Amino acid sequence: MRADPEFVQKAGLNLDLVRRSYEWVEKVMVFEPELRLWQSAVRNGLQEVGVSPDNGYTLDHIYGRQSKKAADGVIFKDAAGNEHTAYLSKEKGKESMGEIIVSAGALGSPQLLILSGIGPAQHLKSLGIKVLLDQPMVGRHGRQPMNIIIVPSPSPVEASLGQQVGITRLGTYIEALGRIDFVRFFGLTTSTSGTTPEPTKSALETIERLQNAGMILEKTIGPVSTGSLKLRNRNPDDNPMVTFNYFKEPEDLQRCVNGMKIIEGVVSSKAFSNFRYPKRYCGISPQHGSISSEKYIQPERSNASTFESWEQYCKDTVLTIWHYHGGCQVGRVVDHQYRVLGVDSLRVIDGSTFIGSPGTNPQATLLMLGRYMGIKMRNERLGRNDLD
């Protein structure tokens, strides 16, 4: 799904080149899906609860710099763990025409900049890293929006990825996935240490009991709540510490509640009746949290496993499907040409530069951005101003 025009405008991208870059990606990679029973039921259910109109198959979202510092090479490890150094090539007495492009994502790119001495000075000093550039915005404004409901079904559910999307006017996207390998999808595995957290173990047991089930995702647009990333140490192989501050801002929680109420309406709709047990349905939270893995969300509210409110459900079932973004945002860490502010010959081009997560899935926009910046950088080197 393409990003909405507001996202493109905030990112400072050329609308015409964005359009043509999307078209190039879509021509190479995109096809119109064949809707089967589960996806059709969600589509019709969305229409029953007022998420309309049905737009059919569409990819659109409807509703001069100077510095004294410059990157000149990278240190990397090969598959065998051997360390190497590669430098940008340049003629003697001339500046290099080459550049280093960091595309390690919303977690990896801020981590690499900090390890290179570009980041909040106090944090760099605490790790014993030489401060090359005090850049307090590196690792800041990280965001991640996602909640899910897994719906056990009395009827077979076909395997399918996201094909039906409801773009609501209440700040949420609703997306349907058919039967998938939930254990692998959520990265739920038993610990190699021999001990598995109880919530994870309970979620595994519950999922294994499901013969037929589908999943409905709810994505909060934005979100408004932001977090931060810091390094544990100077070892690039160690994961950084990340805090997303889910639902810190009340606006995000209200948007999630709005989305969950729409999903409740979809599952209760006439169109969805073949995929719903007569008296109840449930949501499963396969996360490493402190809650039970199975919670009833409608009716039979007399038992202890019932969620007290949609607000609590949103908080308890928030999880990742890897749509995090931010940490090297445009206007804060990089300019509108994705060059790191204050450093020559260094760009960051990936989801860490996003101010928001575009559409239901950012993949199309990431592919577009690669094509877009490839054309822009080629033209810079050739001294051309056209966009072809």
Q: What share of the chain is helix, strand, coil (3-state, %, to 5)?
A: 30, 20, 50
> Could you confirm whether 323 is annotated as catalytic?
yes
Give residue 117's pLDDT. Answer: 95
CA separation for the pair 153, 61 (Å, rounded) = 31
Alpha-carbon gap, residue 293 to 204, rounded angstroms: 8
The token pair that represents 297 in the structure block: 């969300």
Q: What percent of the chain has pLDDT over 90?
A: 33
**Residue 129 DSSP one-character state:** -
Domain extents for the chain? Answer: 32-56+144-227+240-317
**Token digits of residue 242:** 């990340």
Mean pLDDT of 160-172: 79
Q: What is the DSSP string of 360-386?
A: S-THHHHHHHHHHHHHHHHHHHHT---
Whole-structure pTM value: 0.76
Q: Which of 61, 123, 323, 325 is catalytic?
A: 323
Cis peptide before 152 (omega within 30 of 0): no
Query: 53-67, 237-251, 310-324, 364-378: which has the minimum mean pLDDT?
Result: 53-67
pLDDT band with cut points at 50, 70 and 90 for residue 57: very low
Sort 103 into a burial class: Cβ within 10 Å, 0-12 / 13-18 / 19+: middle
Topology of domain 32-56+144-227+240-317, CATH: Cholesterol Oxidase; domain 2 (3.30.410)
Q: What number is the average pLDDT over the span 165-190?
A: 73
Contacts (Cβ under 8 Å, ≥6 apart) of 316: 285, 289, 291, 295, 307
